[in-house]
Structure 1
Amino acid sequence: MTTRLIVKNLPSTCTEQQLRKFFEKYGQISDASLKYTKEGKFRGFAFVGFLDESSAANAISKSNQTFFNSKRLTVEECRPFGDANKPRAWSKYAKDSSAFKRAHGQEGFDESEKSDASSEPLAKKRKNDEKLDQFLEAKGFAVEKEVKLSKDKSEEAKKLMAELMEGIEGDTSLSLIFSGLPSSAKGKNVKEWLNPIRVKAMKIARNEDVAAAFVTFNRPPDVRRALQKDGQFLGGFKIGIEKTETPEPEQEIHEEHGEEMESREKEEETVREKILETGRLFIRNLPYATKEDDLQFLFKNMEKYRKCKWLLIRRLEAAKDSPL
């Protein structure tokens, strides 16, 4: 038995955090991933991995056919491709499922079940057929596009980031850049993927292949929680999350701080010179019960002490006579 399970018939509002909380009582979870379409729509099933087989078996025996919110779950062992005991595909997004064939037509996919020799040229033809790809994308089927690694891609990525960061100024400490999003992704899809993290504002830039988003949050804890989702998948696309780099004028700050210190020192020197010219001292923050005799006793050993002028302002005398 494997340690990886497939959980079917999950509610559309399910999140990874809720899924982990539901299964963590059966054992320590190694990973959990919800599956989405290319458009970011949740497909209603997920994979959950445990660290040992006993925990996985315990999860199947105790959670299969139980309810998650209002949905009755089907929890099964995840079997590898080619396994004879692997259950038949049921999702409308899988080629082998009857739901997919009903949605796209049985005849159009019978040719794929022929021998490998006859199917290889057809597969190559499908990859190069742009009209067929557009038709499949309109029907919600994920089409694998050939990725060409060239200088044009890096230039397009730079243009996309430049378009995204255009007009953004000020403090960006609570903002993150999301890269690698599907080109059809909308703000609603990103917010659902980040749920329950709240988003304050969002800006999306896209090209023909991918999209990028500049997302601003309300609090620093939300930023830290969003960074933990770096490397996770949204609709089959691996999302990269990074902080925004805003160059700070450090030299100007130090110069301003140095000017303030110099002005304070000059002000203190002028005050000190005035005090030395008069030969008098001003003593503040004395206790309320201080008397002139106390000050004379304190300064009696000073050679330059000649006269102590007593000035005591009793601000609390009026408050003593007033009722509380």
Structure 2
Amino acid sequence: MSTRIFVKNLPKDATQDKLVSHIKKSCPTADVTDCQLKYTRDGIFRRFAFVGFNTHEEAEQAQAKLNGTFMKTTKILVDLAADIGDASIRAWSKYSPHNQPKATTSKTTQKDTAAEDTKPARTGFVVKMKGLSGFYNEKSIRDFFKPIKLSSIRIPKSAQKKPMGVAFVEFPSTKEMEQGMGRNKNFINGKKIFLKKSADAAAPTVKPVAPAPWELKSKSSTGQEVESISESGRLFVRNLWFGVTEDELEGLFGKFGPLAEVTLPVDPLTKKVKGFAHIVFVFPEHALKAFTDLDYTSLHGRLLHILPGRETSGDDAEENEKSSFKKKKAAQQKANSGSAYNWNALFLGANAVADAMAKKYNTAKSDILDDESKSSIGVRMALGETQIVSETRQFLVSNGVALDSFSQAAGERSKTVILVKNLPAGVEGEELRGIFSKHGTVNRVLMPPSGITAIVEYLEPSEARKGFMKLNFSKFRSIPLYLEWAPMGVFVNPAQPSNKASSSREDTEEKGKEGGDAEDKEEEEEAEDEKQKEKAVEKNDEEVKMEENNNEEDEESEEEPEDDTTIFVKNLNFDTTNENLAEHFKKFGNIHSSTVAKKKDAKRPGELLSMGYGFVQFMKKADAKEALKHLQNSVLDDHNLELKMSNRTTPQVKSRKKQGETKQKSTKILVRNIPFEAKRREIEELFKVFGELKFVRLPKKLGGTGPHRGFAFVDFLTKQDAKRAFNALCHSTHLYGRRLVLEWAEAEESLEELRKKTAKHFSDDGPKKKVSRMSLKNELDN
């Protein structure tokens, strides 16, 4: 569907501003994304133009309202622009090279043509005049050279039809040209004139007409462009609309194959798209297919121009060859830092834990790390880490962070939110904001009280990617920063753009001088914020309880949809929501997901606009086929839907099973991943903080010799104590550098259950079936 219109029969003095203003009068709500008036190479206006719009509906509306209207006294004609390469379209303009008469070959025709052309042949003896000003024309130039004979005079003019201060004078022979050069530095209108020989300007060679874009596309795919794309898999896309988003480009190019990278550079000052993008495919053949199909197609009313992308410079690779092993490893880590693997979201370094504990309890760090104390140093560090993690979790939840999103190991990652880990103790939020702001505008920085882990959100994906690549594994206070892309939906509510980074201390002092009323207002706002945080914590606690109570329902909901169950829905009403779309399809079977594709609203930052299409995924393939069969051309919100099976496979995200997800079965906890240097006494010391213990068992290998087997059973006296210990230690507790993994152990079987199991095991025929009286009687009769 075309998003461009073709406007012809424009007035001779038409300009882009005048044409756009005329369009806005008839279509005030339409977004004009492109306006191109066409000229010849000599600057002659061809009196037609192409105008692009954001959507096909806007282009149709403009065509209907503008066709037959008047610009001044000229009636313009408007039609939807055809796609490039349409064979039914014929060049109608007299300036079109395809409408020029073909060269004649017969002798008679050549004679007739020569007879009609009375202009003398070019000689090639030309002098360029410079310094002309005021009023001048051919007559004044001939008077300047009198009595020398001249062949022709050419006075170039600008697009505004004004003289440009130069002229080209042609002489019939070398003799006249030399005589003409003798007039160098003479005057016209009181201005000194400079003459210079310019033989090239006498008979300007006619430049070959450049082939049309669709002709370039139809050429054989053996050129340098095709070879470059087929080797690198990189595309450079330009002439993009300034409101396009990375998600739109991913949706457009992702149809041809998996994408490795999509980069949409943004101007650092205006925060608007620069108009070009870099696309990298995983497989080069997919890039070649995208280049062939999408080059010179329209997107938001603008024709995409696709070129081969440039390979990254090999300087880094050469430097790595000469560098040390340590530098090579760091470079490799940085190159792989964009991978989707998930580290521990609440990871805390041992040194930072010791610093935080020393600061919290106002003691020396050496006292915490004292190995001569009766208690184990490993247990002290583990308990300290557990306390910091608990405080960090509470802070994040109260500030609108969805901690459950971090449990998705293979989930989709955010493009603007970065998780910052391994920070030293005592880091302030403003210090971290200053570091990340060097690479783009930071929207918000969330720093827990411990200052060991933080969440940084950028406004633009391209700036976030730049900051991530520059700062990941870089040294901060002598230790490396560990960065990871946060999962999608890490924030419950999106934050509005913040001006906190640009505020200064002087502004704060001036606000403080405004009086007691302002202070009271700030106190009220702070109190209201505290209430909101408390509500968020309560809400999170309720959600946790609901998850524990409905654990079985959650397990059933993890069922995955079958393959080929996604339907691509076109021609959606812009007001249609995800819920309306699901409601329209749900009568044909269980729906896994329904999504209306959206993009950022360039006029209203922070809001989204529908793109007029979406996807509906069923759980079963048969249901999807039935829906496709019966709902084709069905009406939803006054729009006839166009349906087809989607070729794009939707990756299914499996949630990583959290340690606290299983239901509590007993008072016994199974502890895995215990370091081999840990003793039974240390395990007991770690867990008895949360309640009275029945026993701690650390199984050893057969024979009872050597180290333990790396796991233990911890049994509490009450279920409440066991649950308290489980909830505190399951998130991120390390003992001698290894993270403890907790699971609920099975409840011990009763004596009666053991007897039944033993009888079943040794019985030859298995459990006896109960025989009814009627069946026994029938058997005896027979």
Same fold at TM > 0.5: no
Taking structure 1 as the reference length, the TM-score comes to: 0.33
TM-score, normalised to structure 2, is 0.15
Q: Which has the higher contact order (CA 8 A, sep 6+)?
A: 1
| CA radius of gyration, larger in | 2
